[in-house]
Amino acid sequence: MSIQNEYLNGLMERVIQRDPSEPEFHQAVREVLTSLAPVVNARPELIEEGVMDCLVEPERIIKFRVPWEDDQGRVQVNRGYRVQFNSAIGPYKGGLRFHPSVNESIIKFLGFEQTFKNSLTGLPIGGGKGGSDFDPKGKSESEVMRFCQSFMNELFKYIGPDTDVPAGDIGVGAREIGYLFGQYKRLRNEFTGVLTGKGLTYGGSLARKEATGYGLCYFTDNMLRAAGRSFEGVDVVISGSGNVALYACEKATQLGGKVVAMCDSNGYVYDKDGIDLALMKQIKEVERLRIRVYAERKPGAEYHEGCSGIWQVPCGIALPCATQNELNEGSAKALIRNGCFAVAEGANMPCTPEAVEVIQAAGLLFAPAKAANAGGVAVSALEMSQNSMRFSWTFEEVDSRLLTIMTELYQNASAAAAQYGLAGNLVAGANIAGFLKVADSMLAYGLV
């Protein structure tokens, strides 16, 4: 779909010309500008006052060297990033990703999307993202610790509980957050809520670990119910087997679905009896092994080499929860052919634009990442509140707030889509609803 506004088309061209080698960032910006054309057509001051031009340019990009010593005593050098994208409605907030594929384009796309996602939660958090091309796979505990400490030796200068509050993402979980928090505390001599996703003994929130996966299922359940459907008795396919995927599996199962397949970057497992989550957690969270071990330990389960084959597994509901652009047009067509009726994005931008077009054209229910996976950052914001209060809520308290946030988010995105004549299009609805609060705040401040 093209952008139905001449100015925004020109802006898109300028974004590409300015940074021609950032395809993921262009992809994310194009989707948002396409959705925002009807808003901008109705409110030309958004262009005249410079909001649209500012929206696509990060407030600040920090890029730094991360030297660390491996177990053989050799110096290794990685690259670190923090993109502070937009602070119109609160301190920059968003995860850190450690993965060999990380580059400026990927961190910019994630920071851009985070701005709208965070606004959608209804909580006062701006958008940011960071990370490194460091690969935690195959590294020892002490190598991971030394890397995290070196990463924080530079990052601490730019973050703070009222400035920028990082958290986890791919390759960054409670272990890495512990090392990062410990180093920040040493350097600043301060115990503050500067990171979220912390361990429960030092300021972490109950239900943060579960929040993205649970929130994804709460959002999906709302979307299904509005269409007279539910998880009950439905086969579900979930890509990935990390933090988001594991807790999506847990909640989808609690809501009556049967998760029949999960994957890692090497291959997928199919279990016709439904994934044994306790076994999967043992393999992935405790022992940190490859997913093929699941099929070795679970009678009746099959392992297949190659992760993209997972979309050939018949299911009613598909939850891509691994990484960007993991579900392409061919995979979308396979899902549709096999009777899938709903796709909800747990990962950030997991469906390619061509896949989204095919899914929407075929009339499937589609929940976009910015809305559907906002539960993680929402509970991060609740962790910030608890840290500020020097208090902690029970699991039930946090979980019930999460459910309310995801339900209201669904209603707001649906309403925004309907208001602009796009009823049922949650991509447009989420982008518009997320944008308006940010844009009105930017206008209020005056831009130059």
| Residues noted as catalytic | 129
Among the listed residues 51, 237, 322, 377, the single contact to ligand 2IT using CB under 6 A: 377
How many chain residues touch ligand 2IT (CB under 6 A)?
12
- The one of ligand NDP, ligand 2IT, none whose footprint includes residue 178, by CB under 5 to 8 A per kind, is none
Q: Give the contact letters, 300-329, x = binds to ligand NDP (CB under 6 A), - = no.
A: -------x-------------xxx--x---
| Contacting range for ligand 2IT; rule: CB under 6 A; set: 20-28, 42-50, 87-95, 352-360 | 87-95
Q: Report how far residue 328's alpha carbon sits from residue 267's, in angstroms, rounded to the nearest whole number.
A: 17
Q: Of residues 206-245, which lie at the interface with ligand NDP (CB under 6 A)?
A: 212, 240-245
User: Rounded to the nearest whole angstrom, what is the least distance from the CB of residue 152 to ligand 2IT in the complex?
Assistant: 16
The bridge status of strand 342-344 relative to strand 365-367 is parallel
Among the listed residues 376, 399, 438, 442, the single contact to ligand 2IT using CB under 6 A: 376
Among the listed residues 30, 93, 258, 284, the single contact to ligand 2IT using CB under 6 A: 93
Q: Give me the residue whose beta carbon is nearest to ligand NDP.
A: 242
- The one of ligand NDP, ligand 2IT, none whose footprint includes residue 94, by CB under 5 to 8 A per kind, is ligand 2IT
> In this structure, are residues 270 and 301 in contact, taking their beta carbons and an 8 Å threshold?
yes
Strand pairing partners for 86?
A: 127
196 binds ligand 2IT (CB under 6 A): yes
Angle between helices 375-389 and 104-120 (to 10 degrees): 70
Q: Give just the sign of the alpha carbon dihedral 335, 339, 342, 346.
A: negative
User: Rounded to the nearest whole angstrom, what is the least distance from the CB of residue 104 to ligand 2IT in the complex?
Assistant: 17
User: Rounded to the nearest whole angstrom, what is the least distance from the CB of residue 117 to ligand 2IT in the complex?
Assistant: 6
> In this structure, are residues 416 and 352 in contact, taking their beta carbons and an 8 Å threshold?
no
> In this structure, are residues 209 and 292 in contact, taking their beta carbons and an 8 Å threshold?
no
204 binds ligand NDP (CB under 6 A): no
132 binds ligand NDP (CB under 6 A): no
> Closest CB to ligand NDP among 375 and 442?
375
| Contacting range for ligand 2IT; rule: CB under 6 A; set: 48-56, 80-88, 90-98, 338-346 | 90-98
Q: Of residues 337-366, which lie at the interface with ligand 2IT (CB under 6 A)?
A: 348
Question: Quick count: other Cβ atoms within 10 Å of Cβ 445?
Answer: 7
Q: Give the contact letters, 100-139, x = binds to ligand 2IT (CB under 6 A), - = no.
A: --------------x--x----------------------
> Which of 353, 342, 327 has the alpha carbon at shortest distance from 32?
353
Distances (CA, A) of 96 to 55, 88, 131, 167: 21, 21, 4, 6
373 binds ligand NDP (CB under 6 A): yes
Q: Report how far residue 8's alpha carbon sits from residue 13's, in angstroms, rounded to the nearest whole number.
A: 9
169 binds ligand 2IT (CB under 6 A): yes
> Closest CB to ligand NDP among 12 and 406?
406
Q: Of residues 260-299, which lie at the interface with ligand NDP (CB under 6 A)?
A: 264-266
DSSP result, 373-405: TTHHHHHHHHHHHHHHHT----HHHHHHHHHHH
Assigned token pair, 86? 């937009």
320 binds ligand 2IT (CB under 6 A): no
Tell me the CA end-to-end span of the chain in Å, nearest whole number.
33
Q: Give just the sign of the alpha carbon dihedral 414, 417, 420, 421.
A: negative
Q: How many CA atoms lie within 13 A of 206 on its CB side?
A: 11
**Residues in CB range of 80: below 8 A, 6 or more apart:** 63, 64, 65, 66, 130, 131, 132, 151, 154, 155
Q: Give me the residue whose beta carbon is nearest to ligand 2IT.
A: 95
- The one of ligand NDP, ligand 2IT, none whose footprint includes residue 215, by CB under 5 to 8 A per kind, is none
> Closest CB to ligand 2IT among 218 and 303?
218
> In this structure, are residues 238 and 260 in contact, taking their beta carbons and an 8 Å threshold?
no
> Closest CB to ligand NDP among 86 and 118?
118
> In this structure, are residues 429 and 409 in contact, taking their beta carbons and an 8 Å threshold?
no
Q: Report how far residue 415's alpha carbon sits from residue 254's, in angstroms, rounded to the nearest whole number.
A: 28
Site residues (vs ligand NDP, CB under 6 A): 168-171, 173, 212, 240-245, 264-266, 307, 321-323, 326, 346-348, 373, 376
